[in-house]
Amino acid sequence: MVSGDLIPLDDLRAMLAQRAADLAQHLLGDPNRQLSSKRELRYGTHGSFAVSIAGSKLGCWYDHEIGIGGDPFALIMRERNCDFRDAVEFARLFAGGNIYRTTIRPLQLKQSDRGDEVAKRLQLARFLWSQRQPIKATAGERYLREARGYGGAIPPTIGYLPTRGKDVHAIICAFGLPDEREPGALHMRDDAVRGVHLIRLLPDGSDRDRDHPQGKSTIGKCPGAPIVCAPFHDSSNALVIAEGVEDALTAHEVMGIGAWAAGGASRMPALAESIPDWTDCASILIDDNSAGRVNTAKLERSLQERGVEVWEIQPFELGSDAP
């Protein structure tokens, strides 16, 4: 038996690929037998999670629900919620024969249990957030600066997720309430991340990928959690709220006040419960479509019931997501 801790990294990756079926079943449990084949294992009621166990993509996996995939190391990091160093350590034990199919695995997702589903999505969201890179000097910054014309500071709640395999690179934004360790300085703790929002980009970052079937997507069940694009100004208790991150950043740059993004029209109303009690005024950017107007109205009513003064900003006054 080969000692796992002596296996070079490239050889280890190849060994994991050869044992892709064993690794998948160890990490994910039993596959959906009806949808699986000799070339790939399928997981989930609809088989949306696939692991290749034969062919040119041996060892690779792909989650068709969210458009994310990777190699065996990425699968280990995702399922064990660990970093690359710990994934390599686990892989060496697995390849060296020190971890067997009978080893106790973490509790697996039960399709009938919504609580487990939520926990699974949160785990995936935090894994993706852990893979981010600083957005400075990336295609993500080019998109915000050139395509969207934003000239202000980019907060630590927004990062860059590089291309991995066939995954399109993206801007990644964290849902949740960051700490403000000193006035105006946001810090997003990993355990504060409630979900993530992905904005997939064209290869050169000249625009978002408008043709991608999941050009913008949210991972994680986190109603009421905002993407904080700018902190409250130290001399103002005013806040501007937009559906999209791009509009929220633009509004902050123009108005000089705190800015939140909902991450989608349907997520707007739930933000009312998360807005601090000391907020005096909320300006809401209205997207020029039915969903935008309906959900903005719901948010406005909820805020007014809390005694918050609300101002509407009509479509295109500060820029929008319109083509």
Regarding whether 61 and 86 lie in a shared domain, the answer is yes
Task: Pick 198 or 318 by higher pLDDT.
Answer: 198
Least confident of 120-129, 160-169, 299-308: 160-169
290 within some domain = yes
Regarding whether 154 and 98 lie in a shared domain, the answer is no
Regarding whether 315 and 239 lie in a shared domain, the answer is yes
pLDDT band, residue 97 (cuts 50/70/90): low
Percentage of the chain beyond pLDDT 70 is 88
Q: How far apart are CA 120 and CA 142, in angstroms?
A: 32
Regarding whether 315 and 232 lie in a shared domain, the answer is yes
Q: Which of 73, 108, 143 is the last residue of a domain?
A: 108
Residue 58 pLDDT = 92
41 within some domain = yes
pLDDT of residue 71 exceeding 60: yes
Regarding whether 234 and 298 lie in a shared domain, the answer is yes
Q: What is the mean pLDDT of residues 198-210?
A: 94
The burial class, CB within 10 Å (0-12 / 13-18 / 19+), for 275 is buried
CATH of residue 25: 3.90.580
CATH of residue 311: 3.40.50
pLDDT averaged over every residue in the chain: 85
Q: Quick one: tokens of 35? A: 């949808």
14 within some domain = yes
104 within some domain = yes
The count of other CB atoms within 10 Å of the CB of residue 259 is: 30
Q: Could you read off the pLDDT of 147-202 as tens digits, one per residue?
A: 999 999 999 999 999 987 667 899 999 999 998 877 778 989 888 999 999 999 99
Residue 320 pLDDT = 44
- Looking at the structure of the chain, the number of domains it has is 3
Regarding whether 97 and 9 lie in a shared domain, the answer is yes
pLDDT band, residue 232 (cuts 50/70/90): confident
Residue 174 pLDDT = 97
Residue-number span of the structural domain to which 253 is assigned: 227-323
Regarding whether 232 and 211 lie in a shared domain, the answer is no
CA-derived radius of gyration, the chain: 22
Regarding whether 218 and 265 lie in a shared domain, the answer is no
Q: Which of 194, 222, 250 is the last residue of a domain?
A: 222
Least confident of 18-27, 42-51, 109-118: 109-118
Q: Could you read off the pLDDT of 39-63 as tens digits, one per residue?
A: 999 998 889 899 999 888 899 999 8
Q: Which of 222, 241, 259 is the last residue of a domain?
A: 222
Residue 1 pLDDT = 38
Q: What is the mean pLDDT of residues 120-145?
A: 92
Regarding whether 257 and 322 lie in a shared domain, the answer is yes
Least confident of 28-32, 111-115, 149-153, 221-225: 111-115
Regarding whether 68 and 18 lie in a shared domain, the answer is yes
262 within some domain = yes
Regarding whether 259 and 196 lie in a shared domain, the answer is no
pLDDT band, residue 23 (cuts 50/70/90): very high
pLDDT of residue 98 exceeding 80: no
Residue 101 pLDDT = 34
Residue 140 pLDDT = 96
157 within some domain = yes
301 within some domain = yes
Residue 91 pLDDT = 87
277 within some domain = yes
Regarding whether 168 and 77 lie in a shared domain, the answer is no
Task: Pick 89 or 166 by higher pLDDT.
Answer: 89
